[in-house]
Each structure stands twice: as C-alpha cells, then as structure tokens.
C-alpha cells in the first residue's frame, strides 16, 4: 500500500499558486485513474481530501487541508490509520531550490527549508519517506521573498513548463510503482 500526498494550501485563493503544485499533481494522477471512477472526498478525521485507487496495489491519494506549514498533522493521521511504512509515503511538492520545470526524486532527505516537509518530519519523527520535487525557481532572480513568491499565481507562460514537470512526475511515479524507486531515480534524476 502506498500513500501519495500532494502538498498545498486549501481554498480557491491558492489554487494556481506555486505552493499548490503538489495538489495539482495528485489531482492529475487521480484523473489519470478515471477508470476507477474515484473522487476526492473531504475526510474531517484526517483533515484531508482523500481517495483510494490501485488495482494490484492499494494507493491512497491525499491533499492535506491543514495549510502547507501544518501538512504533517494530516499526514500523520492518515499514516497511523492505514499503518503506512515511511518508505511507502510519497510526497509531491514544489521546490524553490530546483530550476523551474526540473524534477528530482529523493528518499530520506532533510526538509531543506520547506515548511510542509519539516512539519511532516516533525510529526512522523522520521524523514525516511520519498519526495517527488518539482522545481519552481525562476530563471530570472526575483526580489520577492520566498514565502511570498510561493503564494503567487503561476504565470501563463510558466503553466506549460509546470504541466510538463507534473507529467514527468506522474511518469516517474508509474516507473516507481512498476519497477521500483531506484529505477525511477536512475531514469528521472
């Protein structure tokens, strides 16, 4: 069983912001599994929108509704309920340290300043989970502080790059599910 969590912020205000790339990716993965006829449902107990899929292996998809900086609260509830091993927890999120459109898969790595990841590490007491990171660093340096930049709407010109990066993450997830994480890291990192 895998728990795949997209990190982001709830509400219309944040829908198309950099910080919500994780939500976008998980939603696209859910849509790609349409044959399963699944929908995200708000689960108050988990403080997250959740749905289940997977023919051979059960996959739980989640979008925490706790806001980014408290993502770990929702993730911990879901991990404990389903008894998920840390290495079977996959997080998809934005990464300001990666160039726009680049993706990286990492396992057992520090938060590197990402507050949603730090919240998860703090709540679970481990960093032994997998991360699918999507680069959002602008090509031209910006004077906007990071905490404000990540909450800005994604510019129209950048949406094509973001869509391609999400497509690559979904492909990397499929390789990870079918052939293992090492194979996916070799192919996509």
Nearest to 2 by CA among 22, 26, 18: 26
pLDDT (mean) for 1-11: 96
Structure tokens at 20: 């919500």
Mean pLDDT of the chain: 94
Q: Determine the number of helices (DSSP H) and then strands (DSSP E) in the chain.
A: 6, 7
Instruction: Give the pLDDT confidence of 95-149 residue by residue, as tens digits.
Output: 999 999 999 999 999 999 999 999 999 999 999 999 999 999 998 888 899 999 9
User: Is the pLDDT at 164 greater than 80, yes or no?
Assistant: yes
- Domain boundary assignment for the chain: 2-188
Residue 92: CA atoms inside 13 Å, Cβ hemisphere, count?
Answer: 28
Concatenated DSSP letters of 36-47: G----EEETTTT
**Interstrand relation of 59-64 and 89-99 (parallel, antiparallel or unpaired):** unpaired
Backbone angles phi, psi at 169, to 5 degrees: -65, -45
User: Is the pLDDT at 73 greater than 80, yes or no?
Assistant: yes
CATH of domain 2-188: 3.40.50.1470
Concatenated DSSP letters of 146-164: HHHHTTSBPPHHHHHHHHH
Containing 99, the helix (H) or strand (E) segment is: strand 89-99
The catalytic residue positions are 19
pLDDT (mean) for 29-50: 86
């Amino acid at each position: 069983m895998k728990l795949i969590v997209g990190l982001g912020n709830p509400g219309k205000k944040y829908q198309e912001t950099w910080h919500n790339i994780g939500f976008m990716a998980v939603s696209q993965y859910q849509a790609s599994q349409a044959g399963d006829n699944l929908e995200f449902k708000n689960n108050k107990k988990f403080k997250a929108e959740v749905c289940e899929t997977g023919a051979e292996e059960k996959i739980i998809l989640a979008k925490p509704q706790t806001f980014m900086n408290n993502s770990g609260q929702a993730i911990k509830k879901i991990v404990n309920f389903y008894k998920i091993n840390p290495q079977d927890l996959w997080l998809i999120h934005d990464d300001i340290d990666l160039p726009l459109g680049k993706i990286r898969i990492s396992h057992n790595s520090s938060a590197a300043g990402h507050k949603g990841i730090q919240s998860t590490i703090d709540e679970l007491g481990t960093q032994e989970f997998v991360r699918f990171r999507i680069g959002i660093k602008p090509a031209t340096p910006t004077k906007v502080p990071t905490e404000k930049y990540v909450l800005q709407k994604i510019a129209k010109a950048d949406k094509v790059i973001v869509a391609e990066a999400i497509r690559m993450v979904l492909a990397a997830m499929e390789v990870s599910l079918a052939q293992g994480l090492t194979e996916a890291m070799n192919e996509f990192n």
